[in-house]
Amino acid sequence: MARLWCSSGTAACAQVNWPTLWMSWRERELREILVLPLIVGIMLVPIGLFSGALQSFFAQHGFCRPALGAQKEDLSPHYKPSP
């Protein structure tokens, strides 16, 4: 029969992050609130840069579709309508 419980030794004292264990729950919640905008910024800035670069690339190379009701004169000289 397979073992259902497996135990291992504890971490060494040097491997325990003691300051985190000594923090109160209010300090831990405050840390989460203060770090959350930084994490969101780290995630959104590259997404914004990537989407902006793609949008610029597609606009420069004529991959953008004209708006509904656009006149022929309004179209980019690079725009080639699909057959």
- Residue 17, in any domain of the structure: no
Residue 68 domain-assigned (yes or no): no
Query: Which one is predicted more confidently, 29 or 60?
Result: 29
Are the C-beta atoms of 62 and 78 separated by less than 8 Å?
yes
Decide if 28 is inside a domain: yes
Q: How confident is the model at residue 17 (pLDDT cuts 50, 70, 90)?
A: confident
* Number of domains within the chain: 1
Enter the pTM of the model: 0.44
What's the CA gap between 54 and 51, in Å, rounded? Answer: 5
For residue range 32-64, list pLDDT tens digits in order.
999 999 999 888 888 888 888 888 888 787 666
Could you tell me if residue 51 is inside a domain? yes
* 29 located within any domain: yes
- The residue behind tokens 């030794």 is 9
In a domain, 16, yes or no: no
Residue 43 lies in a domain: yes
Could you list the residue range(s) of the whole structural domain that residue 33 is in?
24-55
